[in-house]
Structure 1
Amino acid sequence: MATAFVSELVLSANQIDQLSTLEMRRLLERAVVTIRDMQGQVSDDTNGEWPDPLAYLRSMAAAVERNNPEAVSQALLDAASMIRMLRIIHDEKE
C-alpha cells in the first residue's frame, strides 16, 4: 500500500498543474495520516530524525491555495521521501 501511495504522490507532484486545490489538499492530508501511522510503527527508530515533518505537511495542506504549485509539488515529493524512509526503517525492524 505504501509503495502505491508513494507512486501516486510522485506522479501527482510531476503533474501538479493538472490537480485541483482540493486534490492537492487531500493528498497532503492523506500523507500526514500515512506518515503518522508509520511513525507509530517505528517510533523508537525515528526519534529526532525529523523535527516535525507533519507540521510542515499540515501547514502546506491548510494553505494549499496560497502556495505556488512548485511548493506544493515539493511538499508531495517530501512526503513521498518520508514514507519511503519510514518503509525502509520498518522493513529493517522485521
Structure 2
Amino acid sequence: MSLTTAFIAELIRAANEADRLSPFEISRLLDRSVDTIRDMRRQTGIAGSHRARDVVIDVQVASARARDLSPAETRDVLLHAADIIRTLKILLDGKE
C-alpha cells in the first residue's frame, strides 16, 4: 500500500470516528491534507486557484475552525479531502 493510499484510508477512518477526534487531531489531518494536495497538484501540473472556492482554502479554513466544527462537518471535510487526494492519485497513476 502506498503512503498516499494509506493516508486516504486514514482520512476515511477518521471521518467515520469524527465524534471521537480532538480539535488538534482534526486540524493535523486537515493540514496534512493541504500539504498532500499541494504536492500532488505540483506533480500533476494542476495549478491551484487563489480564488475563494479553491478546495485547499476550504480545507485550511476548516482546519483553523476545527474547534467549532460539528462531527458532521468534520466528517464531510475529511471525506472531501480524501476524495480530492484520491482523484489526484488516479491522475498521477495515469501519467506513469
What TM-score comes out, normalization by structure 2 length? 0.88
1:17, 1:70 → 2: CA distance? 8
Q: In the superposition, relative to structure 1, how do residues 47 and 63 fare at CA in structure 2: closer, same or farther (>3 Å)?
A: closer
Percent of aligned pairs sharing the same letter:
40
Residue 76 of structure 1 corresponds to: 78
Residue 17 of structure 2 corresponds to: 15
Indicate which of 33, 41, 48 corresponds to 1:31. 33
Q: Which runs of 5+ in 2 are unaligned?
A: none
Residue 62 of structure 2 corresponds to: 60
Encode CA deviations 1:24-65: one digit per residue, 9 max, x unaligned.
010000000001000000024x678xx511000000000111
What TM-score comes out, normalization by structure 1 length? 0.90
Q: Which runs of 5+ in 1 are unaligned?
A: none
One-letter code aligned to 2:10: E
Aligned structure 1 segments of 4 or more residues deviating by more than 2 angstroms: none
Question: Number of residues paired by the alignment?
Answer: 91
